[in-house]
Amino acid sequence: IKAIESPNKDDDTQWLTYWVVYGVFSIVEFFSDIFLSWFPFYYMLKCGFLLWCMAPSPSNGAEFLYHRIIRPFFLKHEAQLDSVVKDLKDKA
């Protein structure tokens, strides 16, 4: 997220955004997979969701989710997340 929000923009921003969205999706899925796997066509919907996130089109799912959900949450809690990362780095 820090690389995406930096002022130096390169053409890797689309893939960085995708991997941030994929990482958040993987964390959510890890905790809810036991319930979601019971839904019919879950894996087909998951595949379609990931393709939507990767699509190089104006309606790119990763860009949409990042700007509507992940970025506002991150900007609201940035100081807290930075302090947690710093504490973990100091302990390591």
44-63 pLDDT per residue, tens: 999 999 999 998 887 889 98
The total of structural domains in the chain comes to 1
Instruction: Report DSSP state, residue 40.
Output: T
Residue 52 lies in a domain: yes
Residue 76 lies in a domain: yes
**Cα dihedral 76/79/85/86 (nearest 10):** 180
Q: Does residue 2 carry a pLDDT above 80?
A: no
Residue 54 sits at the vertex; the CA angle it makes with 58 and 64, to the nearest 5 degrees, is 50
Residue 2 lies in a domain: no
What percent of the chain shows pLDDT beyond 70? 95
What percent of the chain shows pLDDT beyond 90? 61
Return the closest-CA partner of residue 71 out of 82, 80, 79, 63: 63
Residue 67 lies in a domain: yes
> What is the residue range of 63's domain?
7-89
Question: How far is the C-alpha of 28 from the C-alpha of 26, rounded, in Å?
Answer: 5
Q: pLDDT, tens digit, for every residue of 62-88?
A: 989 999 999 999 999 999 999 999 999
